[in-house]
Structures are given as C-alpha cells and as structure tokens.
Amino acid sequence: MRATFANIYLDNIRHNISEIRRLIPSGTMICVPVKADAYGHGAVPVARVAVECGAEYLAVATVAEGAALRSAGIAVPVLVLSLPHPSELAEVVEQGLVPAVQDEEFIRLLGSEAEARRRTISVHLKVDTGMGRIGCVPGEAVRLADMVASSRWLSLGGMFTHLPVPDSASPDDEAFTAGQLSLFGDVVSAVRAAGISPGICHAASSAAVLRYPEASLDMVRPGLAVYGYYPGDVDASFLDGIRRPVLLKPAMELRTTVVAVRRVRKGQSVSYGRTWIAPEDCDIGVLPLGYADGLLRHYGGHVKVTINGRAFPLCGRICMDQCMVCLGNGSGVSRWDEAVVFGPRELGSAQDASGIACAAGTIPYEITCGVNRRVPRVYKNP
Ligand SMILES: *Cc1c(COP(=O)(O)O)cnc(C)c1O
C-alpha cells in the first residue's frame, strides 16, 4: 500500500449518528448526506454504516453518486439534492432516486421520463426560504405540490428547505433562521390546507440538528456532524452552554510515512521558491503527500504533523506530491516512521481537520473533501 493513506474510523461515524439520534425527538428520521464521496470518507462504506445505524434516507448531490449507491446494492431512498441535467433524468427514474424538484419545467420533464418507463417516482419539493440557491419561491409551493400530486407518475414524498446560517451565533442570523423555519411551516400548512399531503418535511443540516430542536421536523440531514466536526460557531462549548452537550469524533485520519530524513546546513533552502531557509543545522523529514493529495499549498504554515507523539511544523512550500517537515535536532525520528497529518485528537494527532481549517481560513468540509482519490482509504471496524 501507499505510504500515504487515510484511516476511516467507522465506529466514530456510528458514535456520531447515535449522538445525533439522542438529540432529536424519537420518530424523527435521519437522512445522511454522502455526497462528494461522503465528504471524502467513501460513499459506499459510509452509506452502509449509516443504514446499519438506522438512517432511513441518504442524500447525494449528483445522479452518478446515487447510481453508485444503487450499484453497491444500497436500497434505501436516496435524495438528490442538486438539480441534474435533463439528460440524467432517465437514470434518476431507472435507479429510483428521489430528486429535489422546484419548478414546472423540471417536474414536467421528470414526469415524461417516469411515464416513458412506466415507473412512479417520489420527489421532494424544495422551497427557497432564504438560502437563495435552488427551491421555488414560497408562494409557488402549493401550485407545484399540486402539479406533482396530480401527476400519474410522480408522488410528493416530501418537502424541504435549506438554512444558510444555522451555524452562526449572531442574533441577526438566529432571527433569520427562525424566520425561515416559520415561513417553511406556513408553506407546509398551506399545502396541507389545499388537501395535499406534504410527505416528509425537513430543514435541518448539522448545525440546526445540534442546536435547534424545533428544526428537526420529520427528518434531519446532518452531514458534517456525522463525520465528526462541529459546524461554525456551534462547537462543543457552545452546545454545553445551551445544555445540549454533544461529543463528536472525527472519522478521518490522514497518515503518511517519513520516506527520508535529511540533514540540512544552516542557510540551506528547502522546496520551491526557497521560502524556507534553515535557521541552523537540522534534520528534515520528507513526506510523500502534497497538494495533489489534498494538502493544499496554503495550508502549509498551519499544519503540524505528529510523529511518535510529537508535533512538527511543515517547512518550505508544499509540492504536488511531497512536503517536508522540520525535525530540528535529536528528534529521534527515523526513516519509515509513521506521521499523522490530521485525525482524532484522542488518537494522538496534534490537530483534526477542523484545527487546520480554522488556522488556514477554511472549513473542515473542504479539508476532508479535498483528500484525493489517490489516497487509499483504510476502513477500521467495518
Ligand atoms: C450538504 C447538505 C446538507 C448537510 O449539511 P452539513 O452542514 O454538512 O450538515 C444538508 N442539506 C443540504 C441541502 C445539503 O446540500
């Protein structure tokens, strides 16, 4: 196997799902987003664990992601969160995926594909209550719900909306989220009042699941929390503060191996651009991972690699396939020692993806999603 690999601790995913289950009212369903290869963790293994833990739904972004779950024999309903291209609708129907719908043209196209295949498909109507991305305007929801419900080949399996700021602790953002939830509630009531069953209603991504019990509705869609990270301001101490303590455990651990230890003299430079000059004679460890593996160049100064329980900073620019770590003197690190780039702190890593993200001005989503396919995943506790 490659000297660089990612351990995926499936037990941590199981633990995170059970933490989420504990927070939501009993009877609330869980939809686990496994889009983007389960945020880099591997869609099929994560989907299997999610289903084993009782998740009733999975969610993907693309039709191909949904089809891959079906090919792996996963049979639970799979919500397609983004809008596909019309040429993909035949596959939506054939694979029995549950697309988000938001407009008349799309509903009509989908209806014809379903009719052509003599297959009824369930859809979820997306309502834009303030995300400003996809979804119908609230005033059109009844008409569109009726269009779905009265189509012979479509059924209204659910209605949903998405929140742009559930992870923010600012009072304005909290008020915005409350306004969205109340608007969505009104839209669902209007659909009911028109004699149409809205199906499964859902609104909450991780942050809302963790902090707003009133956002759970019929189903929740926590992604990030399942992978073990707290969203934005909604961290462990925030949750303690609102008496909803939650312990999330990161599931991914990015590991590599010191493939060479080299002695550099004071004044010698390391890597492209010669941005790092040895301040004294010291040892440098070479690690076989770089930006093509997802360790982006701008993370450089923020990454501390743990080797034999000690944290060392990277030095010099991260290259496409390699990077260097400054070992100083007398580190005791030798060639072929394993190095942890990020992972669960309780397993000895100096930082998790959220630590790098915070320091590098990005979000943990981007760090785990960025770990390239070239990095083999090793599944622990399958
Ligand atoms: C990705 C996504 C989620 C999950 O969001 P997290 O912040 O990872 O919990 C939920 N709903 C929609 C519509 C999404 O696109």
Whole-number percent of the chain with pLDDT over 70: 100
**pLDDT, tens digit, for every residue of 329-378?**
999 999 999 999 999 999 999 999 999 999 999 999 999 999 999 999 99
Q: Is the CB of 224 under 6 A from ligand 1?
A: yes
How much is the pTM? 0.97
The mean per-residue pLDDT over the stretch 285-299 comes to 96
C-alpha–C-alpha distance, residues 32 and 52, integer Å: 12
Q: Which residues contact 285 (CB under 8 A, 6 or more apart)?
A: 258, 260, 261, 262, 307, 312, 324, 325, 327, 333, 339
Specify whether 229 is catalytic: no
* Beta strands in the chain, from DSSP E residues, in sequence order: 5-9, 29-33, 57-60, 78-80, 98-101, 121-126, 154-160, 200-204, 219-220, 252-257, 260-264, 269-270, 276-277, 282-287, 304-307, 310-315, 323-328, 338-342, 377-380
**pLDDT, tens digit, for every residue of 112-132?**
999 999 999 999 999 999 999
Q: Is the CB of 364 under 6 A from ligand 1?
A: no
Ligand 1: distance of its center to the CA of 91 in Å? 23
C-alpha–C-alpha distance, residues 302 and 168, integer Å: 24
Q: For residue 205, which atom of ligand 1 is closest to its CA?
A: 9
Phi-psi map region of 77: left, alpha, beta (phi>0 left; psi -120 to 50 alpha): beta
The number of beta carbons lying within 10 Å of the beta carbon of residue 116 is 12
Q: Is the CB of 41 under 6 A from ligand 1?
A: no
Q: Is the CB of 221 under 6 A from ligand 1?
A: yes
Q: Is the CB of 45 under 6 A from ligand 1?
A: no
Specify whether 35 is catalytic: yes
Confidence of residue 382 (pLDDT cuts 50, 70, 90): confident
Ligand 1: distance of its center to the CA of 219 in Å? 13
C-alpha–C-alpha distance, residues 212 and 371, integer Å: 31
Q: Which residues contact 184 (CB under 8 A, 6 or more apart)?
A: 127, 129, 161, 201, 203
